[in-house]
Amino acid sequence: MPLQWRPMKPNDVAGCAEIIGSHPIIGRRYGPAIKDLARAWLHLLGSEAMTTAVFEEVEKGRATLAGVGVGVFVRDEFIREMKKPRQFWFGPELAKRVLNGNSPVLSEKEVREANSGAGLNELVWETLPHLSFATRADMYHLMGRAYIEIHRGFRLKEMITSQAESPERLQWAIDAGGLLWNPKRARYVKALKNGSAQFAENPHIVGITRELELGRPGSWVGTLFDYRPPRFYFSAGEQRMLICAISDPAGTNPALAKILGVSLPTVKKMWLSIYERVSEIAPELIAGNAIIGADNKRGKEKRRHLLAYLQDHPEELRPVLRRPSGKKSHHESPSLHT
């Protein structure tokens, strides 16, 4: 039966947190903090600093929860704290800090600043299948594909995966391109002195930085460091509308207005702003004289071309500091690894 994934919604949170709490190893790591997990996720849900995936198995139109993935963009100080010799399970620590006012998760302003500047630290809070799906290879393949799709287009500085519950999951993370953090030597290393079984039983870090990825053959996950700056610098509202439009290319303006909770004139105004900005930078993407934003045949064709471009250029839909209209960017550069 087919597996699929989608972003997390508020009514998913309790079930997804239960997957973590009921796991015989991961749940024990949280201890009393497991009661904070759902509330912490709800507190962050919808923030640009949180990335989510809900995995489902669909049969005859009915979806069964199969797994969960949650990531957050965190401050440099928290990464440094994690890497000290006295390492800790960062999942329960995140849950506690998000709720006690000492959250290391970036604000939306900080996300935009980092994604426009030095780059983001991406920390996988948890990624875990339901126990009934834990032996299915297609589940792990889907989790990997979802991770790539969710994080394409961000300017990433360091990526750290969730702390493995087994030697097999640890090896999976390493095979995907991760390196092992050695707190005594204060650097990432390729091999384990005491073996993966002992490593997985204790707090640990598996990750990779942009600088390290530059110095070795490209890995599967390392492709996420291939960053290209956006060309159009859409506003946050425009980005949200475009993401909705991509998810349903045949959708109408009234349908978009309903999903976004705005008026129809607001949707039309946003399309006008989008097309004006695109026409300044890349007029070939919307060539022709169709009525801008209209639900007629030529307008739909113009929109289809633009949405197809944006699907291949997710950086246009990621949070960045807005560039004033009319100014040129350095988008002509090839794909950047810096």
When the pLDDT of each residue in the chain is averaged and rounded to a whole number, the result is 90
Instruction: Write down all domains in the chain, each with its CATH number in brackets.
Output: 3-225 (3.40.630.30), 236-317 (no CATH)
Determine how many CB atoms are found less than 10 A away from the CB of residue 108.
13
Does an H or E element contain 187, and which?
strand 187-189
Helices (H) and strands (E) in the chain, counts: 14, 8
Summarize pLDDT for 121-176 with one digit per residue, the tens: 999 999 999 999 999 999 999 999 999 999 999 999 999 999 999 988 988 888 88
Contact 208, 179 (CB under 8 A): yes
* Pairing label, strands 120-129, 156-160: parallel
Report residue 194's pLDDT band, with 50, 70 and 90 as the boundaries.
low
Q: Say what percent of the chain tops pLDDT 70.
A: 91
- pLDDT tens digit sequence for 35-67: 999 999 999 999 999 999 999 999 988 999 999
- pLDDT tens profile 88-115: 999 999 999 999 999 999 999 999 999 9
> How far, in Å, CA of 55 to CA of 290, rounded?
40
Q: Are 32 and 80 in contact (CB under 8 A)?
A: no
pTM for this prediction? 0.90
